[in-house]
Amino acid sequence: MPLTYSSEGCLRVGQQAPDFTATAVVDQEFKTVKLSDYRGKYTVLFFYPLDFTFVCPTEITAFSDRYEEFKKLNTEILGVSVDSEFSHLAWIQTDRKAGGVGDLNYPLVSDIKKEVSAAYNVLDPEAGVALRGLFIIDKDGVIQHATINNLSFGRNVEETLRTLQAIQYVQSHPDEVCPAGWQPGDQTMNPDPVKSKVYFSAI
Per-residue pLDDT tens digits of the chain, which is 203 residues long? 334 333 345 789 999 999 999 999 999 999 999 999 999 999 999 999 999 988 888 899 999 999 999 999 999 999 999 999 999 999 999 999 888 999 999 999 999 999 999 999 999 999 999 999 999 999 999 999 999 998 888 889 999 999 999 999 999 999 999 899 999 999 888 888 877 777 678 77
Tell me if residue 178 is catalytic. Answer: no
In this structure, which CATH number among 3.10.129.10, 3.40.50.720, 1.10.1750.10, 3.40.30.10 belongs to the domain 21-155?
A: 3.40.30.10
Catalytic residue among 56, 60, 134, 143: 56
Domain boundaries, the chain: 21-155
Secondary structure, 3-state, the chain: CCCCCCCCCCCCCCCECCCCEEEEEECCEEEEEEHHHHCCCEEEEEECCCCCCCHHHHHHHHHHHCHHHHHHCCEEEEEEECCCHHHHHHHHCCCHHHCCCCCCCCCEEECCCCHHHHHCCCEECCCCEECEEEEEECCCCEEEEEEEECCCCCCCHHHHHHHHHHHHHHHHCCCCECCCCCCCCCCCECCCCCCHHHHHHHC
pLDDT for 48 equals 96
